[in-house]
């Protein structure tokens, strides 16, 4: 491993840890499968879609962010309705 790569990896991991500490809930959209979902850990969720489900996550967009789960769930349902996606998660 080169020193340049080690430095890059160190900066990447620091930025990744900081980003994960943002908190709150993200409503996101994956255009390749026309999917709208909600997650507290967007990075882990994207990785799950990409690696476990073998889904192309290129173009993933954050549509909404909130510290309140019920507010985020409301917006997820709203976006699903507007996008014409079945399976609204209104509780």
Q: What is the SS3 assignment for 57?
A: coil
Write the pLDDT tens digit of every residue in 56-80: 999 899 999 999 999 999 999 999 9
Please state the pTM of the whole predicted model.
Answer: 0.72
- The torsion angles phi and psi of 59, rounded to 5 degrees, stand at 90, 5
Distance CA 26, CA 23 (A): 9
- In three-state secondary structure terms, 39 is strand
The answer, yes or no, to whether residue 85 has pLDDT greater than 60, is yes
């Amino acid at each position: 491993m080169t020193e340049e790569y080690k430095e890059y990896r160190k900066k990447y991991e620091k930025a990744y840890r900081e980003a994960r500490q943002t908190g709150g809930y993200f409503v996101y959209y994956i255009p390749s499968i026309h999917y709208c979902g909600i997650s507290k850990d967007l990075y882990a969720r994207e990785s799950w879609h990409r690696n476990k489900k073998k889904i192309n996550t290129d173009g993933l967009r954050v549509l909404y962010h909130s510290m309140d789960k019920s507010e985020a769930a409301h917006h997820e349902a709203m976006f699903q309705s507007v996008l014409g996606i079945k399976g609204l998660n209104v509780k």
